[in-house]
Structure 1
Amino acid sequence: MKARVHVMLKDGVLDPQGAAVAHALGALGFDGVEGVRQGKVIDLELVETDTAAAEARVREMCEKLLANTVIERYDIEIG
């Protein structure tokens, strides 16, 4: 079973990488970009066959390692 985790900074947390990308886009002539938030995507291959159990396991992984839950939020896709 496959799982995909999207990790993004929470609203209100400064995103210096996103600001740098927004600045670079403007410098390259891509006008009209008011803001950029940068995150990460983590793809996992799981041996689990039960969807609910897989999601619970990935949630545990996120809470312990994959996301800094103080400043980041995450979304899980199981498929």
Structure 2
Amino acid sequence: MKARVHVSLKPGVLDPQGAAVAHALGTLGFEGVKGVRQGKVLDLDLDETDPEAARAQVDAMCRQLLANTVVETWRVEILN
């Protein structure tokens, strides 16, 4: 089974990388970009065959390692 995890900063947490990207886009002539929030995507290949068990397993992974629970949120997609 495959899972995809989208990790992003919580609202209100400063995002210096996003601000740098927004600034760079402006200097390249891409006008109208008011803000950028950056994050990460992780694709996992799991042995688990039950979608709900896989979701619970990946959620536990996020809480323990894949996300900084203080400043980040995550969303889990079970792909198959």
Once the two structures are TM-superposed, the CA of residue 2 in structure 1 deviates from its matched residue by 0.3
Once the two structures are TM-superposed, the CA of residue 9 in structure 1 deviates from its matched residue by 0.2
Once the two structures are TM-superposed, the CA of residue 52 in structure 1 deviates from its matched residue by 0.3
Aligned to 2:77: 77
Structure 2, unaligned runs of 5 or more: none
Over aligned residue pairs, what C-alpha RMSD do you find? 0.3
* Structure 1 moving runs of 4+ over 3 Å: none
Structure 1, unaligned runs of 5 or more: none
Letter in 1 for 2:41: V
Once the two structures are TM-superposed, the CA of residue 29 in structure 1 deviates from its matched residue by 0.1
Over the matched positions of the two proteins, sequence identity in percent amounts to 72
Q: TM-score, normalised by structure 2?
A: 0.98
Matched residues in 2 for 1:69 and 1:57: separation?
16
Matched residues in 2 for 1:69 and 1:33: separation?
28
Matched residues in 2 for 1:61 and 1:17: separation?
25
Cα deviation code 1:21-63 (max 9, x no counterpart): 0000000000000000000000000010000000000000000
Aligned to 1:37: 37
Q: How does 1:1-79 map to 2 (within 5 A)?
A: 1-79=1-79
Matched residues in 2 for 1:73 and 1:56: separation?
15
Matched residues in 2 for 1:15 and 1:56: separation?
28
SS of residue paired to 1:19: helix
